[in-house]
Amino acid sequence: MNALTQLLGTEHPLIQAPMAGVQGAALAVAVCNAGALGSLPCAMLTPETMERELSAIAAGTTRPYNVNFFCHTQPEPDDAREAAWLFWLASYYEEAGLDINDVPRGPGRVPFNRAAADILERFRPKVVSFHFGLPDIDLLERVKSWGSVVISSATTIEEARWLEAFGVDAVIAQGVEAGGHRGMFLTDDLTTQIGTMALLPQIVAAVSVPVIAAGGIADAAGVAAAMALGASGVQVGTAYLCSAEATTSAVHRAALHTEAAHHTALTHVFTGRPARGIVNRVMRELGPMNPAAPAFPLATAAMAPLRAHWEAHGSGDFSPLWSGQNPSGCRELPAAEITRDLLPGFSGGR
Ligand SMILES: Cc1cc2nc3c(=O)[nH]c(=O)nc-3n(C[C@H](O)[C@H](O)[C@H](O)COP(=O)(O)O)c2cc1C
């Protein structure tokens, strides 16, 4: 037991990172039943799907679980900027035989809102985690009112202090090695984004709540290193991407097992916000960062038809192949085994 297991109510201070788009209830249940904290990412779920997945977790485990949301501010659609972005994508649409006038419009990812809180209140999960800061104070207070522990990601010392000041129970220190979206919310300056080994001890020194290390942790030695640097626990994402219970696509799984997985970059061509993924054709040719990309999450819509087209042809050239810098933990195994293999790190072992 340590401060984090007491807070989370788990056997081990290990959190399976919520990973929108590549997992649902099955992964969360498997990890919870293995004694760690399984997570359900809700950023891309409709209310109906969210309710179904939460019911599946409630039916699958009696252990504590985490439900995760994005809490960005939804931007005003900007027709001129979106049209300019389509200009960049036009030749790809032509190559794929797709009609650029058929680009779907839609919000892409929806931030935590009242409708989600209404559903969540019925399940009252032990833990609720946020990415991109925290929701408005009234929503935050609502989540806390039914007793959920609240955690969120910090990518800088300032963000960690901000989260503590607004009342989080623990801070996730997300190093720049991490796969998926940077949780950055007080800055968009990528030069502030530093590695887990540099970020973690500085955040541990800056806040008094427990700190959870995330980014690049893929085995028990990595867990031990994070704990030695003052972490109270770890959050691991990429190592679960090829687990039996993840819904990671075939092209994504295949890429994680190739040499390509050793070439990742931060890109915002898929969503409008920087996220780490395996470098593929569209990242190479349009980015990885491109000032023309629409604001998060509006860039998602224009890439979706290209992604669907090429994935149907077995190609991940237009897919967000999210991955951290350390894919060495990606194994096609049940999540319980992946969890079990990380645990010796908590007693200093490998
Ligand atoms: C495929 C993928 C999707 C992710 N989606 C989310 C998400 O929906 N919410 C979130 O808070 N973090 C998300 N993350 C970031 C993780 O919470 C975590 O910071 C990261 O996985 C840790 O680094 P690692 O991937 O090197 O283990 C995602 C990461 C990956 C790899």
Residuewise pLDDT in 10s, the chain (350 residues): 899 999 999 999 999 999 999 999 999 999 999 999 999 999 999 999 999 999 999 999 999 999 999 999 989 888 899 899 999 999 999 999 999 988 877 666 889 999 999 999 999 999 999 999 999 999 999 999 999 999 999 999 999 999 999 999 999 999 999 999 999 999 999 999 999 999 999 999 999 999 999 999 999 999 999 999 999 999 999 999 999 999 999 999 999 999 999 999 999 999 999 999 999 999 999 999 999 999 999 899 999 999 999 999 999 999 999 999 999 999 999 999 999 999 999 997 66
Å from CA of 322 to ligand 1 middle:
8
Å from CA of 252 to ligand 1 middle:
15
Token pair listed for 126: 């032990």
Which one-letter amino acid corresponds to residue 258?
T
Sign of CA dihedral 25, 122, 119, 172: negative
Query: What's the rounded Cα separation, in Å, for the pair 48 and 53?
Result: 9
Name all residues whose Cβ lies below 6 A of ligand 1: 17-20, 22, 41, 43, 68, 131, 153, 174, 177-181, 214-217, 235-238, 322, 324, 326
Which one-letter amino acid corresponds to residue 49?
T
52-to-49, 65, 84 alpha-carbon distances in Å? 5, 15, 38
- Residue 19: closest CA among 66, 62, 60, 58: 66
Token pair listed for 54: 């939460």
Atom of ligand 1 nearest to the CA of 41: 8
- Quick one: how far is CA 270 from the chain centroid? 14
Put simply, whether the predicted model's pTM sits higher than 0.85 gets the answer yes
Which one-letter amino acid corresponds to residue 149?
V
What b/e sequence results for 139-148 when a residue is b if at least 16 CB atoms lie within 10 Å of its CB, and e otherwise?
bbebbeeeeb
Query: What's the rounded Cα separation, in Å, for the pair 323 and 208?
Result: 30
Ligand 1, atom 13: nearest CA belongs to which residue?
A: 19
CB distance 222 to 216 below 8 Å: yes
Query: What's the rounded Cα separation, in Å, for the pair 213 and 252?
Result: 25
Å from CA of 99 to ligand 1 middle:
33
What order of strands is seen across the sheet that includes strand 264-267? 180-181, 275-278, 264-267
Query: What's the rounded Cα separation, in Å, for the pair 241 and 244?
Result: 9
> Which of 16, 132, 134, 181 for a ligand 1 pocket mutation test, highest count of atoms within 8 Å of Cβ?
181
CB distance 32 to 14 below 8 Å: no
Query: What's the rounded Cα separation, in Å, for the pair 61 and 193?
Result: 36
Atom of ligand 1 nearest to the CA of 177: 26
> Which of 14, 15, 16, 19 for a ligand 1 pocket mutation test, highest count of atoms within 8 Å of Cβ?
19
